[in-house]
């Protein structure tokens, strides 16, 4: 490996490392969705729901079981057989007058042993569900439940996007404020140096210099506060992204880039709010379907259920288990059906159906209430956006005016017809106007985020 190749590899590795620490807004959102611990847990819930569907599906699948049993009789069981031969013989003799009729005690019977020492039984049994109404409806309910979990994940992804977006913009706003302060501090330091030169030649007072120095110190103190706030907001962003707090994170976008995105659709009066586009709506809607299918499932349990079975056994009985000259295997085969007809369950099903209907009605009401809430949320978000838009336009004019006053004050002071107090006041007004416009930009972007959330676009 040549030296040039090694340098190129190190350069590319460094670039990749930096790329891992730099995030645009969309990249931050994507990272947060991919690394969210709560989302990871919910994704396991999806897999668990799929496994539950398979588990429930197995209830209706045919099942085959095998059995093998061996018994060795140390003492073969003994049964007492009644003496049915002697009474029959004596009965004939009495009847034919061979001997005189009389009462005879034939005893309590005689012992007899049935079976052989070794008994080996091998069998197969098949059971199959042929018809059960509640099973098939329940299978559909299991699939709906799996879809519900999936929709809940989509809702959580939306929540992650919303939280990461707000945290990203908040950290970016503080960063932009620090950037503006740096420019103002740099400009004021130049003014301070110029003021000192003017003071040295006797065209300014010590008080003029001190006023500028005080303004400079205030700006630096404000910057220190914002730097501490910047660290906090950046850590908050890392937390929302599930990003390591100890790692460096660099935001690659600025307020202007995000602000320059198209907002024309907001002003379109033909926009109609569609609650079904919201992830929350889809979750509630799926819960309503699940509640309705539960009602059907309990109703279907009133129908009879039919199962079938088949059994085949082979029995081997020998005194010497391995002597093939003794008895062979004797087969036994059975097939059959079992029909279970529910007659009276103590109103258990009736109570379950009523509860399921209550849940369905409740979910339906929640769905309607959510539609109303979304309409109100959209109207409020749109109003907030329009207000923020108007505020930004007004503050742009104020900033232009404050900048003009500040430049005029500087010119007047340099020409000897203005005071340092006038410069200080115009400088404060300019900084306040700059802070106001940054705040207005931030509020406008946040209002757009809330509006997108209301419209189901985030």
Residue 319 to residue 314: CA distance in whole angstroms = 17
> Residue 432: CB partners within 8 Å, gap ≥ 6?
402
pLDDT in tens, 384-438: 988 988 898 898 899 899 889 988 887 887 777 777 778 778 888 888 888 888 8
pLDDT in tens, 308-322: 989 999 999 888 888
Architecture of domain 21-61+132-303+346-455: Up-down Bundle (1.20)
Task: Name the packing angle between helices 25-35 and 206-241 (round to 10°).
Answer: 40
Please report which confidence band the pLDDT of residue 3 belongs to, taking 50, 70 and 90 as the band edges.
very low
What does pTM read for this prediction? Answer: 0.68
308 torsion bin: left (phi>0), alpha (psi -120 to 50), beta (else)? beta
Structural domain boundaries in the chain: 21-61+132-303+346-455
Residue 223 to residue 178: CA distance in whole angstroms = 6
pLDDT in tens, 130-152: 888 888 888 888 888 888 888 88
Q: Smallest Cα–Cα separation from 73: which of 317, 325, 314? A: 317
Q: What's the pLDDT score for residue 261? A: 62
Q: What's the pLDDT score for residue 271? A: 67
| DSSP-derived secondary structure letter, 58 | G
Calculate ∠ Cα 234-239-245, nearest 5°. 70
pLDDT in tens, 352-372: 899 989 999 999 999 999 999
Residues β-bridged to residue 340: 305
């Amino acid at each position: 490996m040549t030296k040039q190749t090694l340098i190129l590899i190190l350069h590319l590795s460094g670039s990749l490392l930096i790329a891992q620490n730099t995030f645009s807004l969309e990249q931050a959102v994507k990272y947060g969705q991919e690394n969210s611990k709560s989302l990871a847990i919910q994704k396991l819930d999806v897999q668990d729901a799929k496994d539950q569907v398979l588990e429930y599906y197995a209830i209706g699948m045919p099942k085959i079981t095998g059995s093998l049993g061996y018994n060795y009789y140390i003492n073969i069981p003994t049964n007492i057989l009644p003496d049915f031969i002697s009474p029959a013989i004596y009965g004939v003799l009495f009847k034919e007058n061979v001997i005189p009729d009389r009462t005879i005690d034939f005893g309590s019977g005689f012992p007899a042993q049935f079976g052989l020492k070794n008994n080996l039984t091998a069998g197969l049994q098949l059971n199959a569900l042929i018809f059960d109404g509640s099973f098939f409806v329940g299978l559909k309910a299991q699939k709906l439940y799996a879809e519900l979990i999936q929709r809940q994940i989509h809702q959580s992804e939306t929540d992650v996007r919303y939280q990461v977006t707000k945290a990203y913009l908040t950290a970016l706003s503080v960063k932009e404020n620090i950037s503006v302060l740096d420019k103002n501090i740099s400009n004021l330091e130049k003014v301070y140096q110029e003021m000192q030169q003017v003071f040295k030649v006797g065209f300014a007072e010590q008080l003029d210099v001190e006023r500028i120095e005080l303004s400079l110190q205030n700006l630096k103190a404000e910057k220190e506060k914002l730097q501490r706030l910047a660290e906090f907001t950046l850590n908050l962003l890392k937390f929302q992204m599930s990003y390591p707090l100890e790692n460096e994170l660099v935001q690659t976008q600025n307020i202007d880039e995000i602000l320059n995105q198209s907002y024309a659709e907001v002003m379109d009066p033909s926009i109609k709010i569609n609650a079904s586009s919201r992830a929350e709506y889809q979750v509630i809607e799926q819960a309503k379907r699940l509640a309705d299918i539960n009602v059907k499932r309990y109703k279907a349990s009133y129908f009879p259920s039919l199962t079938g079975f088949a059994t085949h056994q082979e029995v081997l009985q020998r005194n010497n288990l391995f002597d093939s000259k003794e008895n062979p295997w004797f087969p036994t085969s059975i097939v059959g059906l079992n029909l279970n007809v529910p007659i009276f369950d103590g109103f258990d099903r009736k109570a379950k159906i009523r509860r399921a209907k209550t849940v369905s009605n409740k979910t339906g009401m929640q769905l309607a209430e959510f539609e109303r809430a979304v309409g109100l949320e959209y109207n409020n978000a749109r109003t907030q956006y329009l207000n923020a838009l108007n505020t930004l336009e007004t503050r742009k004019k104020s900033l232009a005016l404050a900048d003009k006053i500040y430049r005029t004050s500087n010119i007047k002071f340099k020409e000897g017809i203005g005071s340092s107090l006038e410069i200080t006041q115009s400088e404060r007004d300019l900084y306040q106007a700059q802070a106001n416009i940054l705040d207005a930009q931030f509020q406008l972007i946040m209002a757009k985020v809330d509006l997108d959330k209301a419209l189901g676009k985030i």
